[in-house]
Amino acid sequence: METLRVMFLCTGNACRSQMAEGWARALAGDNVEIKSAGIEAHGQNAHAIRVMSEVGIDISRQQSIKVNGEMLEWADLLVTLCDNAEEQCPLLSPHTIKVHLPLPDPAKMRGSEPQLLEEFRESREKVRQRVEFVLEQVALEAAI
């Protein structure tokens, strides 16, 4: 089987797409390459790093990067995780499939530290569900 290249895209590549990259690396098989990017680069988010470490996934070495044409050309499958990424995404190459699975940005939430961590934990689990869905679809397609 040929390697499938999957990219997760959100606004700032700090929370949702970073968590998706971490989940996908942990859950995907050897036939899937994973990257993430943002419409902008907002840097790493300490809350995202912390809640992912709670489930044994280290995303602290991932970089927050801005998407570019070369990355879009690389991707076979692009998964947008917010409406902004869906709307602002540059043109894709004809071979790239795009799937839109939006989530609210946990970095925009306000509250106490325990409330923020709970929001990020909920986002982490919603991201996991979306990554599992994408990987299941990839497996189904490979089986056909």
Q: CA 144, CA 137: separation in Å to the nearest integer?
A: 11
Q: What is the mean pLDDT of residues 30-55?
A: 95
Rg (CA), the chain: 14
Q: Would you say residue 95 has pLDDT above 60? A: yes
Map out the domains of the chain with their CATH numbers.
Answer: 4-143 (3.40.50.2300)
Going by the DSSP 8-state scheme, the letter that residue 52 receives in this structure is H
Q: Would you say residue 90 has pLDDT above 80? A: no
Q: CA 11, CA 38: separation in Å to the nearest integer?
A: 5
The Cα-based distances of 19 to 32, 66, 93, 111, 135 in angstroms read 16, 16, 25, 21, 15
Instruction: Please identify which of the residues 4, 7, 10, 15 carries the catalytic annotation.
Output: 10
Active site residue 15: no
Q: Would you say residue 113 has pLDDT above 90? A: yes
- pLDDT band at 1; cut points 50, 70, 90: low
Q: Would you say residue 117 has pLDDT above 80? A: yes
Strand, helix or coil for residue 141: helix
pLDDT recorded at residue 89: 83
Instruction: Please identify which of the residues 72, 82, 85, 134 carries the catalytic annotation.
Output: 82
pLDDT in tens, 131-143: 999 999 887 666 6
pTM score of the predicted model = 0.93
Instruction: Please identify which of the residues 26, 27, 65, 89 carries the catalytic annotation.
Output: 89
Q: CA 24, CA 98: separation in Å to the nearest integer?
A: 16
- pLDDT band at 124; cut points 50, 70, 90: very high
Quote helix, strand, coil % in the chain, to nearest 5. 45, 15, 40
